């Protein structure tokens, strides 16, 4: 979400840095920071964290949250959480991943409280529950607390404002990654024995609800561009379930969360006639969106959350809650001169996102969160198969990956299998990558700007791959057109130009999104059914079939995405890669 540039002064990469570390963590968000804490507890390994922003306020947790949305409350057990997530995803989950994640939810929550997180408690000292899986917190400073703990760790190097662009892989084993500083003309080659990818999911693939000046006002952070997905796809990692897109049901215009209203005051979804429609279509996440779309299509819109008639105390509670996480919604109430009790809240679906924290999209990992590339791990939004993980689930996955990394490093040290650095080869590879960066920095008068190609990409996905304008629906002919046009944009992107390192980041973000778009299109076409209304509404196959109770995976081979179908994995299994 940027502007392109016609430059007059050429920018050269002035410094090329080669770093060596035991563990490289790409992404200093929730999962990445928690993984660093865990690594330090279990080993004395050196760690480098490469973060595109600044770990103090980076990732989906940047602005804070007002509830822990994944927690095992009194009377519930981890298996109950697995059942909930499996039901919401209509069976297409990795139950082994869900169970190992669920078993750690309360443990990481208690650790965050020890770090200073304020968790609301009742008169008996117990956490205040919000539904069957949530507890209330004062979480505005949650990410700064995590960052502060990480910054205090010994032998941890934090590279803020460094954009990682490519993995270094040899013989299907991770060697490290390349990247560049966005503030200085510096290229990095970071060599590591193990790498944890903890970047975010992918926003900005589709035309958003609020295009133009307000395009940043979306459900998922606009700076999460699918970088981790794209690097994995391009390196031949197996990916899973990209067809299970996530579409959030949000307050219209402000794109503020609806769960705070639905759960906080028990508001029902109603149409313009005041009829409750949510029970007719179903109560899973995708069904709530689908019902809203259908009510509008059938002439019974707009649709609302019914807040009219709630108490004055509930009015104040909602306004305060949204000030913490989506102040534009509170401002909308204030500007209208009406409290929530005096007007229902209009709702709508967002554009689709690819995010493994809510749905099952991401890397195909084993129970230790290792990907199909040896030594490369994934946690949080980039790890597939384990939906509904939210903040605490991302922490647990960072913990699981870190514990296994520590074990593997200890084994390799005992066996003396550490590779000897090949400094000449490393320098040559960094020179090649720096030359690639400079090609964009030195190009003059491009035919298109990065922004123009980004808008073209979003239009293609919106029109042909199930965006808002087509009510999230698609057919095979549309997907074929989408693939053709996205491939054309990929070619055009090679001729883009950047006037500085920050604009160079925008070019790579576009390239990342385009790569993810191709995978989304391939996955949407590969599942010949409609299992999740709206999330994957295939007009050629409008019904659900038990024949499709399996995972749709993919792997890039020789420049082409190959679709792989895999059987479901149960909760008692410990899945391990066999290839």
pLDDT by residue (tens digit) across 67-95?
A: 899 999 999 999 999 999 999 999 999 99
Question: What's the pLDDT score for residue 417?
Answer: 57
**Cα separation, 433 vs 172, whole angstroms:** 20
Q: Which of 11-20, 313-322, 326-335, 393-402 has the highest mean pLDDT?
A: 393-402
| Mean local confidence (pLDDT), 163-179 | 98
| Mean local confidence (pLDDT), 121-127 | 91
Q: Is 210 exposed, middle or buried (0-12, 13-18, 19+ CB in 10 A)?
A: middle
Confidence of residue 132 (pLDDT cuts 50, 70, 90): confident
Q: How many helices (H) and strands (E) does the chain have?
A: 16, 20
**Phi-psi domain of 187 (left: phi exceeds 0; alpha: psi -120 through 50; beta: other):** beta
Helix ranges (H only) for 215-254 are: 227-234
Confidence of residue 421 (pLDDT cuts 50, 70, 90): low
Question: What's the pLDDT score for residue 196?
Answer: 98
136, two tokens? 């209330």
8 pLDDT higher than 70: no
Question: What's the pLDDT score for residue 140?
Answer: 87
254 pLDDT higher than 50: yes
Mean pLDDT across the chain: 94
pLDDT by residue (tens digit) across 509-568?
A: 999 999 999 999 999 999 999 999 999 999 999 999 999 999 999 999 998 999 999 999
Lowest mean pLDDT among 61-65, 239-243, 495-499: 61-65
CA 350 centroid distance within chain: 15
pLDDT by residue (tens digit) across 100-114?
A: 999 999 999 999 999
pLDDT by residue (tens digit) across 23-40?
A: 999 999 999 999 999 999
Question: What's the pLDDT score for residue 542?
Answer: 97
Confidence of residue 139 (pLDDT cuts 50, 70, 90): confident
Question: What's the pLDDT score for residue 6?
Answer: 47
Q: Which whole-number Å values give the CA distances from 528 to 56, 92, 289, 424, in the listed order?
A: 43, 14, 21, 50
pLDDT by residue (tens digit) across 560-574?
A: 999 999 999 999 888
pLDDT by residue (tens digit) across 325-336?
A: 788 999 999 999
Give SS3 for 280.
helix
Confidence of residue 218 (pLDDT cuts 50, 70, 90): confident
48 pLDDT higher than 80: yes
Confidence of residue 458 (pLDDT cuts 50, 70, 90): very high
Q: Is 243 exposed, middle or buried (0-12, 13-18, 19+ CB in 10 A)?
A: buried
**Cα separation, 431 vs 188, whole angstroms:** 10
Q: DSSP string of 324-356?
A: HH-HHHHHHHHHHT--GGGSPEEEEE---BB-T
Confidence of residue 7 (pLDDT cuts 50, 70, 90): very low
Give Cβ neighbours of residue 336 (< 8 Å, ≥ 6 apart).
Answer: 343
pLDDT by residue (tens digit) across 184-214?
A: 999 999 999 999 999 999 999 999 988 777 7
477 pLDDT higher than 90: yes
Question: What's the pLDDT score for residue 418?
Answer: 55
Residue 467 near residue 459 (C-beta atoms within 8 A): no
Residue whose entry in the numeric block shows the structure tokens 């019904």: 543
**354, 307, 300: which is closest to 329 by C-alpha?**
307
Confidence of residue 260 (pLDDT cuts 50, 70, 90): confident
Question: What's the pLDDT score for residue 178?
Answer: 98
Residue 89 near residue 216 (C-beta atoms within 8 A): no
């Amino acid at each position: 979400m940027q502007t392109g540039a016609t430059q007059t002064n050429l920018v050269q990469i002035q410094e090329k840095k080669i770093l060596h570390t035991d563990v490289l963590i790409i992404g200093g968000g929730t999962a990445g920071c928690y993984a660093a804490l865990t690594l330090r507890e279990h080993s004395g390994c050196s760690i480098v964290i490469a973060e595109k922003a600044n770990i103090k306020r980076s990732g989906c947790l940047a602005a804070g949250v007002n509830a822990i949305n994944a927690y095992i409350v009194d009377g519930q057990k981890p298996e109950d959480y697995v059942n909930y997530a499996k039901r919401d995803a209509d069976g297409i989950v990795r139950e082994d991943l869900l169970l190992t994640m669920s078993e750690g939810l309360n443990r990481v929550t208690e650790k965050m409280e020890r770090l200073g997180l304020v968790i609301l408690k009742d008169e008996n000292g117990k956490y205040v529950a919000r539904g069957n899986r949530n507890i209330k917190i004062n979480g505005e400073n949650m990410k700064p607390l995590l960052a502060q703990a990480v910054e205090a760790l010994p032998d941890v190097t934090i590279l803020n404002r460094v954009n990682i662009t490519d993995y270094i892989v040899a013989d299907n084993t991770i060697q490290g990654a390349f990247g560049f500083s966005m503030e200085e003309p510096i290229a990095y080659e970071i060599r590591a024995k193990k790498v944890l990818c903890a970047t975010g999911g992918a926003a900005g693939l589709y035309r958003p609800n609020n295009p133009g000046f307000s395009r940043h006002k979306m459900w998922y952070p606009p700076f999460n561009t699918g970088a981790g997905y794209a690097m994995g796809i391009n390196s031949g990692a197996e990916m899973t379930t990209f067809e299970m897109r996530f579409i959030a049901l949000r307050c219209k215009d402000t794109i503020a969360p609806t769960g705070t209203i639905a759960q906080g005051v028990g508001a029902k979804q109603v149409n313009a006639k005041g009829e409750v429609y949510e029970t007719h279509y179903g109560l899973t996440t995708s069904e709530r969106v689908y019902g809203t779309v259908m009510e509008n299509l059938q002439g019974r819109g707009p649709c609302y959350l019914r807040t009219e008639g709630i108490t004055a105390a509930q009015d104040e509670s909602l306004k305060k809650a949204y000030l913490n996480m989506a102040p534009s919604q509170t401002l909308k109430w204030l500007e209208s001169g009406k409290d929530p009790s005096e007007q229902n809240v209009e709702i709508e679906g967002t554009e689709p996102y690819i995010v493994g924290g809510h749905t099952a999209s991401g890397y195909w990992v084993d129970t230790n969160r290792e990907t199909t590339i040896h030594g490369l791990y994934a946690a949080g939004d980039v790890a597939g198969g384990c939906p509904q993980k939210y903040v605490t689930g991302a922490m647990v996955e960072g913990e699981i990956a870190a514990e296994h990394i520590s074990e593997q490093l200890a084994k390799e040290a005992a066996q003396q299998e550490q590779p000897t650095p090949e400094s000449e080869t490393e320098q040559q590879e960094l020179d090649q990558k720096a030359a690639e960066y400079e090609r964009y920095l030195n190009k003059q008068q491009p035919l298109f700007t990065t922004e123009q190609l980004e808008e073209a990409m979003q239009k293609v996905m919106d029109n042909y791959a199930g965006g808002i304008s087509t009510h999230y629906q698609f057919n095979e002919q549309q997907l074929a057109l989408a693939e053709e046009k996205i491939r054309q944009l990929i070619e055009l992107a090679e001729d883009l130009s950047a006037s500085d390192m920050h604009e160079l980041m925008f070019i790579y973000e576009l390239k990342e999104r385009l790569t993810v778009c191709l995978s989304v299109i391939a996955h949407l076409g590969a599942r010949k059914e409609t299992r999740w209304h709206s999330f994957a509404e295939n007009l050629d196959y409008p019904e659900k079939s038990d024949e499709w109770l399996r995972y749709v995976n993919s792997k890039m081979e020789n420049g082409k995405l190959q679709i792989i179908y895999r059987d479901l994995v149960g909760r008692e299994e410990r899945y391990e890669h066999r290839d």
